[in-house]
Amino acid sequence: MKKIICTLSFSLLVATPTAFAQTAAPAPDATAKPAQTMTDMVDGEVRKVDKDARKITLRHSEIKKLDMPAMTMVFAVKDPAMLDKVKAGDKVKFKAEGTGGALTVTEIEPAK
Ligand SMILES: [Cu+2]
């Protein structure tokens, strides 16, 4: 049953590319964009620091840039020295980059 639905919606997309592009193109909420990009820092709380593996477990709030809801997950870190600045239980602000399951923290600082 699922397979039939998938195939159907796929052929619909292929059959009507212009109609699809037209509905996806206009961005009426474009005025909201600057406020979002202004603050790339995400609120989080350190759950676990693993220096050997260069990884950190963070409970984070929504990451709009990456279209990710709030959750607890493991991130790689760009520089292992970043892990000296934080410890489990710390509230932090951080920046993350990447796609899918391979996210890397590029900046992290204790939240004030
Ligand atoms: Cu996440």
At 45, list the tokens: 């709380």
Cα(23) to centroid(ligand 1), Å:
29
Round to whole Å and give the CA distance between 60 and 96. Answer: 11
Distance 19 CA to ligand 1 centre (A): 33
Distance 74 CA to ligand 1 centre (A): 8
pLDDT tier at 38, thresholds 50, 70, 90: very low
pLDDT at 34 over 50: no
**How close is the Cα of 59 to the center of ligand 1, in Å?**
8
pLDDT at 89 over 80: yes
Q: What angle do CA 38, 42, 47 make, to 5 degrees?
A: 170
d(CA 68, ligand 1 centre) in Å: 6
pLDDT score for 32: 46
pLDDT band with cut points at 50, 70 and 90 for residue 93: very high
Mean predicted confidence (pLDDT) in 25-38: 48
The answer to whether 46 and 57 are in contact (CB under 8 A) is yes
pLDDT attached to residue 65: 86
